[in-house]
Amino acid sequence: MYLLPKPKSVVYRQGFYEINWSTVVVIDEKMQENGSVYAAILQESIREYAGIECAVVKGKKRAGDIFLTVIPECQAQEYQIQVREDGLTIAGGDGAAVLYGVRTLCQILAQCGGVLQSMEIEDAPDILYRGYFLDETRGRVLTLPYLKKVVDRLSRYKINQFQLYVEHTYLFRDLTEMWRDETPLTAEDILELDAYCQKLHMELVPALASFGHLYMLLSTRSYGELCERSDSWNAPFSFWDRMAQHTINTTDERALPLIKGMIAEYGALFTSDKFNICADETFDLGCEKSHKMAEQQGRDAMYIQYVKELCTFLKDCGKRAQFFGDIICRKPELIAQLPQDTLCLTWGYAPEQSVDACHAMEQAGAKQYLCPGVGGWNQWVNLIENSYQNILRMCGYGHQYHAEGILNTDWGDFGHINHPEFSVPGMIYGAAFSWNKEETAFDEINRQISLLEYGDRTERTVEMMANLSEHVLFGWRDAVVYYETVGQKHAPDADDQLPELLLTDAETADKMVEKENRALQELVTQMKRTAVSMSAQSRELVGLVELAAEAMKLWNQIGAAIVREERGKAWNQEAAFALAGQLERWFMAYKGQWRSVGREGDLHHIAKIVFWYADCLRRRKERFGSAK
């Protein structure tokens, strides 16, 4: 039997407990927390997997009941499950623990139906705070119903913190110029989501860019003068620039009041006592407007002074500040200048991620969360094996260095093109390895996820998803960089990022594309054959995979077309027009998928790039050009 996260102890006994028409779910009358929420989750699971409708009451247990209770023998988040012939008990140290016991029992029901072998389970997390960080700003702005679906899934795997990354996608009352072309979250959205999380013992933590990554704010005419670089508000949109530029000028006396006001307005919506100011990738600090100050004080001193100001402000507001540690890890001793309880979010996303930053921050006395990633940014389907290696390693460092928490990140660079469902395996890796430090092999945990998450009796769904990304020759990042370099002529330092495909001759490129596209089609066919073995609610994944694979095939072909153009080879006009039509038909279907889970967000920016390539294929624009 598969259980994720893996419990600390499972002992099987002789005999069976059988759910029947008279089974009652009983909430202990002494339990003060959300017992009815836990009972409803269990009631629905029994209905789905055993086909039996159980009543729910509150009071004392009787023989044959399923009993939910809180006991002093267990710590917070620690739970016990006892399955015996005469009844079933889930006992925990607090409400969260009872919920986690219910989640484990639901996984058992999904595999055993209404007849459960007698057993005893004892379980507790190795790391108390297990979070998920979702980019809600650089492409997709997911709808509130879909965000609740994400929360439900996180809860199933015992995640207890959730962050939505925001730069400009919250409707600040006085920043209309920043969000006027966007589809931002509203105060009502946040308040409702926060209440929904609370019922599931999940802390919704605000995360707001406050230093670097202020592209939309600092691209407005109203606040563009606060950008470290001049005339930011006058530049055309660029995915590349949005990632690399737009740090606030900390020497401008208007900067801190503006950012503090944003933090105060946004933070008031959350019940959490934490606030993530991000403060990462401040590439431009001291480069132009504050250059004189940087020469006098040093960029490190400027950085820590600004971060300290925000952390102290949050402390005065009763909030514990968090910030990403990519800048401070180069000078870890600076952590001593921040309020003592400040949390450093030490991140690294490489499959073979070094321990150096984590070690350095621990030696400096920092309190830290370790932050791996699900590997979805710039990908049509996440780099699943890379994410497994990265998450396993970073969670291992977390256990080794006694990190306060794990915050698994799901970024959306260059438009967040991957469907959020493709991040689910990485999400579950983070949940599994932060709860239990015991390692599970890649193939084994993928089989477990395939069955538990997708109901796939063949246990191959995640394996096939993981193989998709191996066949990309001209990916979305390549397409964006090429477009902004050649079509827009404003992406800096991007020429050395060209993929291998564009460095070959036309004949070789065609052969490479034919091989990889054939492999993609074979994987799609396998997924379609697997659909009948999946749960009904999971089968939509097959359609998502097919459309993503179609994107990979089309962009591979476009890469080959670029090679042909740049090598001066003759074009088949009919084939070029046909490829443009395929691209446009695919994009129409892609827009439908996008809108089924999210608001418009950056869809218009993605469309502009897609249609540029289609127009080049039809010679409505100058055919591609050269990236040289």
Contact between residue 566 and residue 626 where contact means Cβ atoms under 8 Å apart: yes
Is pLDDT at 493 greater than 50 in this prediction? yes
pLDDT in tens, 218-246: 999 999 999 999 988 888 899 998 988 79
Residue 407 DSSP symbol: E
SS3 13: strand
Out of 290-299, 564-573, 596-605, least confident range: 564-573
To the nearest 10 degrees (0 to 180), the angle between helices 461-468 and 506-530 is 160
Tell me the C-alpha distance between 107 and 451, whole Å.
Answer: 10
Residue 364 DSSP symbol: T
pLDDT in tens, 351-362: 999 999 999 999
Helix ranges (H only) for 51-159 are 95-112, 144-156
Phi-psi region of 598 (alpha: psi -120 to 50; beta: other; left: phi over 0): beta
Q: Which pLDDT value is given to residue 625?
A: 65
Tell me the C-alpha distance between 580 and 565, whole Å.
Answer: 15
Q: Which pLDDT value is given to residue 589?
A: 98
Tell me the C-alpha distance between 272 and 164, whole Å.
Answer: 13
pLDDT in tens, 39-70: 999 999 999 999 999 999 999 999 999 999 99
Tell me the C-alpha distance between 600 and 597, whole Å.
Answer: 10
- Mean pLDDT (the chain) is 95
Q: Which pLDDT value is given to residue 496?
A: 59
Tell me the sheet residues that pair with 132: 162, 408
Is pLDDT at 264 greater than 50 in this prediction? yes
Q: Which domains does the chain show, CATH number per domain?
A: 9-123 (3.30.379.10), 129-440 (3.20.20.80), 466-617 (no CATH)
Q: Which pLDDT value is given to residue 628?
A: 43
Q: Which pLDDT value is given to residue 492?
A: 58
384 burial level (CB within 10 Å; 0-12, 13-18, 19+): buried
Q: Which pLDDT value is given to residue 243?
A: 87
* 84 residue type, one letter: R
Out of 124-133, 570-579, 605-614, least confident range: 570-579
Residue 483 DSSP symbol: I
HSE-up of residue 85 (Cα within 13 Å, Cβ side): 4
Tell me the sheet residues that pair with 493: none
SS3 324: strand
Q: Which pLDDT value is given to residue 536?
A: 96
Q: Which pLDDT value is given to residue 380?
A: 98
Is pLDDT at 108 greater than 70 in this prediction? yes
